[in-house]
Amino acid sequence: MVRAFLVIVEVLAASVWIGGLVTIGIVAQIVRRQLEPAARVSFFRSLGRRYLTVGGASLLVALASSALLLARGPWAGEKTVAVAVAAALVLATAAGVAQARSLTVLRQRALEDPLQSRLADRIRRRARTATFLRALIGSLTLALVVIAASINHH
C-alpha cells in the first residue's frame, strides 16, 4: 500500500516536472516570435519564478519519493547510477536557474543601454550556455526515467 502511494506520488510529480520542461520549450519558441524584447524579458522572469516554485517542488517530491522507493529492497548498481544521475540533475537544474537569472539581468541591462555591443556578445555566449544546460537537464531527466523503469522492471 505504501509502495503504491509512493509510486503514484513519484509519477505525478515527475509528470509535472517533465510536462513543464516540454511546455517551457514550446512557450519559449512562441514568445520569441510574438513579443518585443522588453516584454520577453518580463515574461520569462515571471515564468521562471513561477516554474521554479511548481517545477522545482515537483522535482524534489519526485526525487524524495524515488529515494524512499529505492531504500526498499536490496541495493544494486542500478540504484547507485540512479542516485548519481539524480544528483547531476539537481546540480544541472541549480546551474540552469542561476544561469537564467544572470542572463535575465544581462538582457535587462541591454534593453536599458542598447548600444552596448559587449553586452550583446555576452548575451549570445550565455544563451549558448543556456541551451546546453536545458539539453543537459532534459537528457538527465530522460536518463532518470529510463533507469527508474529498469529498476522497477526487476
Res 154 pLDDT > 70: no
Report the pLDDT value the prediction gives residue 24, as an integer from 0 to 100.
92
Is 129 buried (19+), middle (13-18) or exposed (0-12) by CB count in 10 A? middle
Note if the pTM is more than 0.75: yes
pLDDT at residue 119 tops 70? yes
The three three-digit cell numbers of residue 35, written as one number: 513579443
Q: Which domains does the chain have, with CATH numbers?
A: 2-153 (1.20.120)
Query: Both ends of the chain: CA-CA distance in Å?
Result: 19
pLDDT tens digits, residue range 29-86? 999 999 998 999 999 999 999 999 999 999 999 999 999 999 888 888 899 999 999 9
Neighbours of 91 (CB within 10 A): 12
Q: Which whole-number Å values give the CA distances from 39 to 34, 44, 109, in the listed order?
A: 10, 9, 14
Residue of 79, 86, 84 lying closest to 154 (CA atoms): 79
Mean pLDDT over the full length of the chain: 91
- Residue 8's pLDDT band, with cuts at 50, 70 and 90, is very high
Q: How high is the pLDDT of residue 152? A: 73
Q: What pLDDT, on the 0 to 100 scale, is given for residue 118?
A: 82
What pLDDT is attached to residue 153?
65
Q: What residues contact residue 149 under an 8 Å CB cut-off, 6+ apart?
A: none
Q: What is the dihedral of CA 70, 71, 73, 79, to 10 degrees?
A: 40
Q: What pLDDT, on the 0 to 100 scale, is given for residue 90?
A: 97
The answer to whether residues 147 and 85 touch, using CB atoms and an 8 Å cutoff, is: yes
- What is the amino acid identity at position 119? L
Provide the percentage of residues in the chain whose pLDDT is more than 90: 71
Q: Give the tens place of pLDDT for each residue, 12-25.
A: 999 999 999 999 99
